[in-house]
Structure 1
Amino acid sequence: MSDEQQRGGDSEEASQGEDQRGVHDRWTQGPDVSTKAQESPLPGGQDDDAEILRERQRLAQLEMMDRWIGGVLTEQRRTRRWKLFFRLMLLALVLVSLTVTLYRVFLAEPSAAVPAQQHLALVEVHGVIASDSPANAERIIQGLNQAWESQSASAVVLHIDSPGGSPVQSQRIYSEVMRLREQGDKPIIAVIEDVGASGAYYIAAAADEIVASPASLVGSIGVIYAGFGFQEAIDELGVERRVMTAGENKAFLDPFQPLDEEVARFWQSVLTQTHEQFINDVQAGRGDRLSDSPEIFSGLIWSGEQALGLGLVDELASLEQVARAQVGEASWENYTPRLDPFERLTRRFTQAAAEVLGLHSGHAPIKFQAQ
């Protein structure tokens, strides 16, 4: 046997041996492996044409796009959850604050009952005196009666810081103070802070004693009506004013009509009579303490130091000094009724709506108010 024949026989035997071993190799042979190998050729193989390659690239791009969109949506959902969380926290804080406020205003009782020791009973008259303001007659009179009925109150103090306002509201408070003063159970003291003028001084005049600071503004005993005349302006604009009345003088204060002499005389008589009521009540309250100066009732306003010389006030002192003189210490109890916040909001809304619609407001045209 030649060498070439021998090598060929050896190769054939090796090949037969490998075939026999392969039949029994379960990792490289078997129906699953052979079938998958035949059905799934390697990517980019020779059997893949250009169209298949483009389709695979497109699918890969779509898969990448899906993953990116999924990440964006996940991040957006996470952001919305945090926003919702913070909004709910803010809403909870607002609700808690509102609940606490409403409880303190409507349900919470005063910190303590009226103290048993002697004290000053304070009633505040702050701001413009009007039926729709905090300084209205009903509220102040209610506080006065509560302070007067307190057994441990050694004195009632009208704490005044007001430029005045409605004549009717001022007269109501004045009459109630005079009624209590005539009973004589305890003194009523008016303490003027920055301003106690016009209608506010009207109220103070009913007190047993008026105290002011040297720089307080006191007086302005007068009556005022202020308006405008637009008759020429409306002619220039070419606007026709249409007013229908039952009664020839019903619209005598219409700002778009001229004010003739007869109407002016009539309206001046109304102001003069109201002024006389003011003067008479101040004289009844102050008595002989007023000086004979004719300027007292001219509408002028003075400092507290000047008012002392005119007899408009009795003493120059502060609220703390009055408290120490009456009860021995600078302390007092406030008897002014609490304000209803919803009622105030409703009143302000009604006033604003009336002004926008051009409706007549509830304020009186005549005022006891410093200008």
Structure 2
Amino acid sequence: MSSKRWFALGLAFLLFLLSIAISSVTTRTTGQWAGWLASGDDEVWHEKVIEKGNGQGKIVVLYVNGVIQEGYDAPSIFETVTYNHRNFLSMLRHASQDHLVDGIIIRINSPGGGVVESAEIHDLILEIQEEYRKPVYISMASLAASGGYYIAAPADKIFANEATITGSLGVIMQAINVSELADNLGIRTETIKSGPYKDIMSSMREMTEAEREILQSIIDDSYEKFVDVIANGRQIATKEVRKLADGRIYSGKQALDLGLVDGIGNIDVVIDVMRQDIGRGDIDVVKYEAPFSFPGFLTMTMQNMVSKNQDPLGLKQLIRYSNSPSLMYLYDADYKME
């Protein structure tokens, strides 16, 4: 091995030790790694210019990449960060309250996610439109399904690529039943519970019909909410929405024909349309970034050196946080995206 490679390895190791040392100090006061990379609602986000314009105003582009779900703990130093729910809400609020921002574009590349998290984004978009009178446009990337469409529905305009996968309008709740495997391996569970339904959706036994009815009623409630969101956001009759919302996926072209999107085009097309609608020429286009912090820099450096991002939609994050049943607006596809 050459001396240069030994030097590079030594430098990487030193950075690793330094980041761990700083981590041990920082986590005592912040309690989590996520506080390095971003923040809570009080974060002052830094702007990075995407397209320099005439300085007469600006458009903010925000990104939803990955599963729309709030994590319960912070990622390790070796894990890449995809979607961060708290940070996205913070950016959206920041853009809404900045009087220099004339419009917001949300770029979605997501199979959906949690019912609660999707509703929080949806409600905040409505607040921005009603309270701040700012247009919100959606740019769909390769995937904007289920919860990804839920958050798009209230937008003033929605654009997709012809090959975008969208739709999957509905609700899903899943759990794995390993009771037969456990029996074969001689594994038993001893459950002490306060009521007959306390271990509902247990992976160690078959579900009863009474339990299935309970869960189906919850699914139906969330489904009705999804239907209402689409009907109100897209101005489509509820009866017609029900026909569309049977869980199937649509291409961007099909979605346009069905009235689920307003146009076909990439992010550049969406920017051009918003500029025209605002009517002040080629105003600036920016995105938000977290303020620089030395520990965050070290963390990101180690993540980039250890591995490439092999999970662009955050599905590993979804599986990690799926220890208990959750209501999901999610395009399932067995949680695998090729």
TM above 0.5, one fold? Answer: yes
How far does residue 194 in structure 1 lie from its aligned partner after superposition? 0.7
In the TM superposition, what whole-angstrom CA distance separates every residue of 1:187-216 from its partner, at most 9, and x where no partner exists? Answer: 110111111111111100121111111111
How far does residue 286 in structure 1 lie from its aligned partner after superposition? 1.7
What is the aligned partner in structure 2 of residue 189 from structure 1?
137
Greater strand proportion: 2
Report SS of the residue matched to 1:120.
Answer: strand
How far does residue 254 in structure 1 lie from its aligned partner after superposition? 0.9
What is the aligned partner in structure 1 of residue 326 from structure 2?
365
The higher relative CO (CA closer than 8 Å, separation ≥ 6) is in 2
What is the aligned partner in structure 2 of residue 125 from structure 1?
64
Please tell me the root mean square deviation across aligned C-alpha atoms, in Å: 3.9
What is the aligned partner in structure 2 of residue 334 from structure 1?
287
What is the aligned partner in structure 2 of residue 178 from structure 1?
126
Amino acid at match of 2:185: L
In the TM superposition, what whole-angstrom CA distance separates every residue of 1:4-52 from its partner, at most 9, and x where no partner exists? Answer: xxxxxxxxxxxxxxxxxxxxxxxxxxxxxxxxxxxxxxxxxxxxxxxxx
Q: Decide which of 162, 165, 179 is 1:217's aligned counterpart.
A: 165
Report SS of the residue matched to 1:283.
Answer: helix
Amino acid at match of 2:61: L
- Matching of residue 307 in structure 1 with residue 255 in structure 2: yes
Residues 147 and 156 in structure 1, CA contact (< 8 A), matched pair in contact too? yes
In the TM superposition, what whole-angstrom CA distance separates every residue of 1:113-136 from its partner, at most 9, and x where no partner exists? Answer: 998443321111111111027434
Report SS of the residue matched to 2:240.
Answer: coil
What is the aligned partner in structure 2 of residue 163 from structure 1?
111
Distance 1:274 1:302, change over 3 A: same
| Distance in 2 (alpha carbons) for counterparts of 1:287 and 1:229 | 41
In the TM superposition, what whole-angstrom CA distance separates every residue of 1:167-191 from its partner, at most 9, and x where no partner exists? Answer: 1111111111111111352211011
How far does residue 95 in structure 1 lie from its aligned partner after superposition? 5.0
Report SS of the residue matched to 1:229.
Answer: coil
What is the aligned partner in structure 2 of residue 22 from structure 1?
none
In the TM superposition, what whole-angstrom CA distance separates every residue of 1:307-339 from its partner, at most 9, and x where no partner exists? Answer: 011111011121101222333559621136579
What is the aligned partner in structure 2 of residue 13 from structure 1?
none
How far does residue 140 in structure 1 lie from its aligned partner after superposition? 1.5
Amino acid at match of 1:160: I
In the TM superposition, what whole-angstrom CA distance separates every residue of 1:215-269 from its partner, at most 9, and x where no partner exists? Answer: 1111111111222322222222222221222222111211111212111111111
Amino acid at match of 1:121: V
What is the aligned partner in structure 1 of residue 148 from structure 2?
200
Residues 131 and 169 in structure 1, CA contact (< 8 A), matched pair in contact too? yes
Distance 1:267 1:179, change over 3 A: same
Structure 1 residues not aligned, in runs of 5+: 1-81, 346-351
Amino acid at match of 2:70: S
Q: TM-score, normalised by structure 1?
A: 0.63
| Distance in 2 (alpha carbons) for counterparts of 1:150 and 1:159 | 19
Q: Decide which of 223, 228, 240 is 1:292's aligned counterpart.
A: 240
- Matching of residue 267 in structure 1 with residue 215 in structure 2: yes
What is the aligned partner in structure 2 of residue 251 from structure 1?
199
Count of equivalent residues: 274
Distance 1:297 1:291, change over 3 A: same
How far does residue 288 in structure 1 lie from its aligned partner after superposition? 3.8
Bigger radius of gyration: 1
| Distance in 2 (alpha carbons) for counterparts of 1:365 and 1:112 | 36
In the TM superposition, what whole-angstrom CA distance separates every residue of 1:261-280 from its partner, at most 9, and x where no partner exists? Answer: 11111111111111111111
Distance 1:228 1:287, change over 3 A: same
Question: Structure 1 residues 238-247 or 209-218, which shifts more?
Answer: 238-247
What is the aligned partner in structure 1 of residue 41 from structure 2?
none
Structure 2 residues not aligned, in runs of 5+: 23-35, 39-44, 72-80, 276-280, 304-315, 333-338
Amino acid at match of 1:139: N
Identity of aligned residues (%): 25
Question: Structure 1 residues 149-158 or 199-208, which shifts more?
Answer: 149-158
Distance 1:160 1:290, change over 3 A: farther
| Distance in 2 (alpha carbons) for counterparts of 1:303 and 1:117 | 37
Residues 324 and 330 in structure 1, CA contact (< 8 A), matched pair in contact too? no
| Distance in 2 (alpha carbons) for counterparts of 1:293 and 1:248 | 37
Q: TM-score, normalised by structure 2?
A: 0.69
Report SS of the residue matched to 1:335.
Answer: strand
What is the aligned partner in structure 1 of residue 10 from structure 2?
91
What is the aligned partner in structure 2 of residue 67 from structure 1?
none
What is the aligned partner in structure 1 of residue 26 from structure 2?
none
Report SS of the residue matched to 1:244.
Answer: coil
Structure 1 segments, 4+ long, off by >4 Å, are: 85-90, 92-100, 109-115, 328-331, 336-345, 359-364
| Distance in 2 (alpha carbons) for counterparts of 1:268 and 1:259 | 12
Distance 1:224 1:333, change over 3 A: same
- Matching of residue 282 in structure 1 with residue 282 in structure 2: no
What is the aligned partner in structure 2 of residue 142 from structure 1?
90
Residues 175 and 325 in structure 2, CA contact (< 8 A), matched pair in contact too? no
Report SS of the residue matched to 1:218.
Answer: strand
Residues 225 and 367 in structure 1, CA contact (< 8 A), matched pair in contact too? yes
Distance 1:236 1:90, change over 3 A: closer
- Matching of residue 153 in structure 1 with residue 101 in structure 2: yes
Distance 1:231 1:118, change over 3 A: same
Amino acid at match of 1:321: V
Residues 118 and 154 in structure 1, CA contact (< 8 A), matched pair in contact too? yes
